[in-house]
Amino acid sequence: MDENVFLLHSFLLGVGITFLYDILRILRRVFAHSTSMVSLEDLAFWIYCAGKVFLLMFHESLPCWGHWRECTCITGQSVPFL
């Protein structure tokens, strides 16, 4: 897979993860949640995110890229906060 396409997919995944977590945070403010429910929601959310990131890395990355793949996803998660 071309590096630029992988960069785009990693960036979009990072933006999507951040967007989903923001929606989860908004829902927590609108509807009251107990501490245990918040913890359960966070656990489920991060398991889902870990699966999505793993599938992206598994299907699209090459071993020779090293830490390039992690940096692109982190960049995608950070940009909406700028």
State if pTM tops 0.85: no
* Percent of all residues in the chain with a pLDDT value above 90, rounded to a whole number: 28
pLDDT band at 21 (very low <50, low <70, confident <90, very high): very high
- Say if residue 30's pLDDT is above 90: yes
pLDDT band of 77, cuts 50, 70, 90: low
pLDDT at 80: 62
C-alpha torsion sign, points 4, 68, 74, 20: positive
Asked if residue 63 has pLDDT above 90, the reply is: no
**What pLDDT, on a 0 to 100 scale, did the predictor assign at position 54?**
80
d(CA 48, CA 38): 15
How far is residue 68 from each of residues 22, 73, 79, measured CA to CA in Å?
26, 9, 17
